[in-house]
Chain A
Amino acid sequence: MTYRFDYSWIAEYWPVILKGLVTTVELTLIGTLFGVALGIACAWTRSLGPRWLRPPVVAYIELIRNTPFLIQLFFIFFGLPSLGVQMTEFQAAVLAMVINLGAYSGEIIRAGIEATPRGQFEAGASLAMTRFETFRHVVLIPALQRIWPALSSQIVIVMLGSAVVSQIAAEDITFAANFIQSRTFRAFESYFLTTGLYLLLALALRQALRGVGMLLFPRRAAR
């Protein structure tokens, strides 16, 4: 049998899709920024920070990495209000993304830090830098450079994973797709179109992250 695609609804519904696209991009940007910052903090704690802080950080990382993002999202949005923490759908979605990316990027960045030759720390110390200054000026940037490709793919994975925030009614691309299919009953068309949108977004994000990498690490030696 042949199926006839019907995209006549696009004229009416493209603003909904555009709004969804903007929301997904916003979520990704904010989530990435704070998520990677949290990841750097975790990586510092695990490899160089005070010993008493390490067990809670390890517990956080293991817990997040071994549970589905969807459940983390539900726990934050539905579960936390019973402790008196109320938030909007968007805030809950961002928080879930930050917490999720924080755990994954923490592990990735730690690998970068631990691949730093010992001599680098000693060199920092010999310049009378404190441990934190050495980390900040000597270790962190080369470590980030080393793991940038892995970190980039993780950020793309988190962006794609954000599709489930539609389940708490955050109005992202998937939310737009669900909205359109409930109004027009053109389920396949709306999901087909939005899937293509995600694919483009993933390609664009990967290019953008490559660009950010080149800005952050201009012509630095790999080691």
Chain B
Amino acid sequence: MMTFTLWDILRNLLLAARWTVVLSLVSFIGGGLLGMALLYLRIGKAQAGRMFVQGYVELFQGTPLLMQLFLAFFGLGLFGIDVPAWLAAGLALILWTAAFLVEIWRGCVESVARGQWEASASLGMGYVQQMRYVILPQAVRVAVPPTVGFSVQVVKGTALTSIIGFVELSKAGTVVTNATFEPFTVYGLVALIYFALCWPLSKSSQILERKLNVAHRNH
């Protein structure tokens, strides 16, 4: 039987962790863009748009991400499209991320005091100008810490893509375990690598929250 050193195991896991990082970035950026488009509808004046986004959020926050991955993987296949795992994984994660970001951001826009809307309206600003010059600059400040915090959920969410066969950190963990028969060591290391990816994000979210709040109080 072949023997594996700890370094062999770690090296293979780190190589696979690249794909966790890539998928996280794709999901977060794609989800962010889609989230912005949905936010535009969600806080807009059109009733139909608002209801659509509410339904969208309910659907994606009310069902397991794993099921969304399965549906993306098998659902697109129904239309005769041969779906590679990375495509299904990226698509499902983008849709899922957008559903959470739009709710986070809506909360931030609504946290801006009503008086700010009224004040800017009294200066004769239109809706777009109010948003652009008064509301969004304040909302963005509130939105940064929770958005960074949510990125941790995205990184952790990518672990589920291993189940539909995308080879990232979790999948590599399973593969390496099957080769080495050392689940304790391998999954321990996998957990530590995820921790190394996520913890800086969590920490910076906390620090940002403190900083931006202090700045806010001094205003």
Contacts and interface: CB of A to CB of B under 8 A. Distances in A.
Nearest to A77: B183
Given A62-B202, A71-B194, A187-B74, A83 B184 contact: yes
A65 interface: yes
B198 A67 contact: yes
A70 B191 CA distance: 10
B191 A72 contact: yes
A74 interface: yes
A62 B63 CA distance: 26
A159 to B, nearest CB: 9
A1 B187 contact: no
Nearest to B198: A66
Given A78-B187, A199-B59, A71 B67 contact: no
A66 B194 CA distance: 7
B195 A63 contact: yes
A71 B63 contact: no
B170 interface: yes
A75 B156 contact: no
B194 A164 contact: no
Contacts of B63: 160, 195, 198-199, 202
B75 A188 contact: yes
Interface in A123-180: 156, 160-164, 167, 174, 177
B184 A80 contact: yes
A182 to B, nearest CB: 12
B138 interface: no
B80 A1 contact: yes
B78 interface: yes
Nearest to B187: A75
A interface, over-half SS: helix
B163 interface: yes
- Give the interface size bracket for A toward B: 35 or more
A60 B128 CA distance: 46
B173 A74 contact: yes
B191 A75 contact: yes
Most buried by A among B67, B152, B162, B183: B67
B21 interface: no
B194 A68 contact: yes
A79 B163 contact: no
B21 to A, nearest CB: 14
A69 B156 contact: yes
Interface of B: 58-59, 62-68, 70-71, 74-75, 77-80, 152, 156-157, 159-160, 162-163, 170, 173-174, 177, 182-184, 186-188, 190-191, 194-195, 198-199, 202
15 contacts: A62-B202, A63-B191, A66-B198, A67-B194, A70-B162, A71-B159, A71-B173, A75-B187, A82-B183, A163-B65, A164-B66, A164-B160, A177-B67, A188-B71, A199-B62
